[in-house]
Amino acid sequence: FVVGWSSLGSSPGVYTRRYASGAVPVGSDNLVSATGGGQPIGLDVDSDGDFVVAWQSPNSNISARKFTAAGVASGAEFQVNSPNPTGQTRARFVPRVGLAESGRVFVTWLQATPASPGFTNYGIWMREFRPDRSAEGAEIQVNSQAAGAGGAFGPSSVAVDGEGDIL
């Protein structure tokens, strides 16, 4: 199994550590990214032990990175969300991630909706990625909400079944 965390200590960043059965550590702490320390992360592992980690970067973007079961990065970290439109700021928080057996990655997060001055309305957003980390279409808002109703607030959750369907 894999444990992930973010740290603001003397070496800030996002880390993972792999464990064998019986909670025996395999190797040492693995630096996923030097950005994002102190923020909640999302992590999922497939049946082969490959895993993906997602986190909130300091600029309020959501980033992710895939790893093999041996803890070796499968490429560089990648930005999950679309860039902000010119002149807009969108706060993004609390990413969650699902990893399909095929290598497809699904990331959800809480985001201030564009029509919410002062970030009073929030929505749950999602984006899918192919095994090569390229996006499968644009990010989408998952929940629906009435204007001014406050919207969603709290962590989302994503699960992937054995056939790659998301729940």
Q: What confidence score (pLDDT) does residue 135 get?
A: 95
Whether the per-residue pLDDT at 91 is higher than 90: the answer is no
Write out 99-116 in H/E/C secondary structure. Answer: ECCCCCEEEEEEEECCCC
Place of tokens 């923020």: 39
Give 132-151 pLDDT, tens digit per residue: 999 999 999 888 764 445 55
pLDDT tens, position by position, 45-76: 999 999 999 999 877 889 999 999 999 999 99
Q: What is the pLDDT of residue 84?
A: 74
User: Residue 1 to residues 32, 35, 153: CA-CA distances in angstroms?
Assistant: 16, 23, 29
- Residue 85 CB-half CA count within 13 A: 4
Tokens of 34: 């030097």
Q: CA separation (Å) from 163 to 27, 102, 103?
A: 32, 9, 11
- Residue 16: strand pairing partners: 4, 30
Q: Which residues contact 84 (CB under 8 A, 6 or more apart)?
A: 90
Where is 32: in which H helix or E strand? strand 24-33
Name the helix (H) or strand (E) containing 28: strand 24-33
